[in-house]
């Protein structure tokens, strides 16, 4: 392999490794754009071509994230692309593919962990409720329109319909709010506005009914 090409490959590898090392948090998993652009930028510098990650244009090298999403590393040059240019582009595309695949897998794990955490939080919140407070919660969320995450209730009226005291209902709301399941806002005589922050509460209460 020509020494000049070998040095370019080493430079591209170093930039790609540095790009991967910059991906450190959850936001980077979902949007690794800066890391990928740095690899394309180094390819552009080494080949003298315009290199971008796009849906498709020019001379394209496919890169995927392993989850079905596909993009293309494209290079456009005023002159003829050389064999070395193609080799470097192939290597850059392989590095981009690896980073996209790792980020996609990490993002899926974050999503799964987030869903698990939310379910755990709801179950923990419901375990804090007494039997009467749990009954109050069932009646509170039964006041919501299907698919809605906000509702305005008259606490005294809901409590009366449930055969409970108003204080029991208020205590249930306070515990759920402390657990981050809902947010409440008193509107005086108009009632209490409830905004659901964790929609899994509906599924968990349906299992209890």
Report if residue 54 sits inside a domain. yes
CA 114 from centre of chain: 9
User: Which of 56, 90, 116 is the C-terminal boundary of a domain?
Assistant: 116
State residue 73's pLDDT score: 80
Query: Does the pLDDT of residue 66 top 60, yes or no?
Result: no
Q: What CATH number is associated with residue 164?
A: 1.10.10.10
Q: pLDDT averaged over the chain?
A: 83
58: left (phi over 0), alpha (psi -120 to 50) or beta: left
State residue 57's pLDDT score: 47
pLDDT digits (tens, 9 = 90+) for 31-41: 777 788 888 88
| C-alpha to C-alpha distance for 27 and 39, rounded to whole angstroms | 19
For residue 148, what are the domain limits?
A: 128-208
Total domains in the chain come to 2
For the entire predicted model, the pTM comes to 0.49
Do 107 and 132 fall within a single domain? Answer: no
pLDDT digits (tens, 9 = 90+) for 86-145: 888 888 888 887 777 777 777 777 777 666 678 888 888 898 899 999 999 999 999 999
Report if residue 66 sits inside a domain. yes
């Amino acid at each position: 392999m020509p020494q000049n090409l070998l040095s370019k490959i080493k430079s591209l590898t170093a930039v790609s490794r540095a790009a991967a090392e910059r991906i450190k948090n959850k936001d980077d998993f979902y949007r690794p754009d800066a890391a990928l652009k740095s690899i394309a930028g180094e390819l552009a510098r080494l080949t003298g071509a315009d290199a971008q990650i796009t849906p498709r244009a020019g001379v394209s090298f496919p890169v995927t994230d392993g989850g079905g999403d596909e993009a293309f590393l494209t290079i456009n040059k005023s002159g003829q692309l050389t064999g070395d240019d193609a080799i470097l582009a192939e290597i850059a595309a392989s590095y981009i593919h690896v980073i996209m695949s790792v980020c996609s897998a990490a993002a899926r794990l974050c999503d799964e962990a987030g869903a698990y955490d939310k379910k755990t939080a709801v179950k923990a919140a419901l375990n804090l409720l007494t039997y009467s407070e749990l009954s109050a919660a069932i009646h509170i969320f039964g006041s919501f329109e299907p698919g809605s995450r906000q509702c305005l209730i008259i606490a005294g009226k809901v409590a009366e319909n449930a055969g409970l005291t108003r204080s029991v209902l208020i205590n249930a709301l306070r515990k759920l709010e402390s657990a981050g399941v809902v947010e409440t806002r008193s509107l005086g005589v108009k009632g209490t506005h409830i905004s659901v922050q964790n929609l899994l509460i509906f599924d968990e209460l349906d299992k209890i009914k």
